[in-house]
Amino acid sequence: MATQQECEQALQELSAIIARSGGSENRPLRRSVSCRITDLDVAFAGELRQGRLEDIVQTDPTNRAKADIQLTTTSDDLIRLVDGSLGFAAAWSSGRLRVDASFMDLLKLQKML
């Protein structure tokens, strides 16, 4: 099981991956994002803007405030998603990554990852 600190670092790396993908080239995507790590019972929130995931902070995992894009996964799967050993589509289709978002946001997110 990855640590809370490793998960926070992975989210920072995810931000860099999104930025490198050109996530803001056509239309800037501005969305609130939350990521709940089930095995650590922690959650992080941030905002996707200008092709980067910014202002990442730890939040109360019991707070069910609705983010535009909500991710739910385990600590190890988050690490695997970020290091590329687990693909976004494979994680999502197998249930290892839950994504609650509009269909359009889901498509955009998949392109960025």
Residues in the chain: 113
C-alpha–C-alpha distance, residues 62 and 81, integer Å: 24
Digit-coded pLDDT (tens) for 55-100? 999 998 887 678 998 999 999 999 999 999 999 889 989 999 999 9
Q: Give the residue from 13, 16, 8, 5 showing the smallest Cα distance to 35.
A: 8
What is the pTM for the complete model shown? 0.85
Domain ranges of the chain: 4-112
CATH architecture of 4-112: 2-Layer Sandwich (3.30)
Question: 57 near 43, Cβ under 8 Å?
Answer: no
H or E, element range at 80: helix 75-83
The pLDDT value given to residue 28: 60
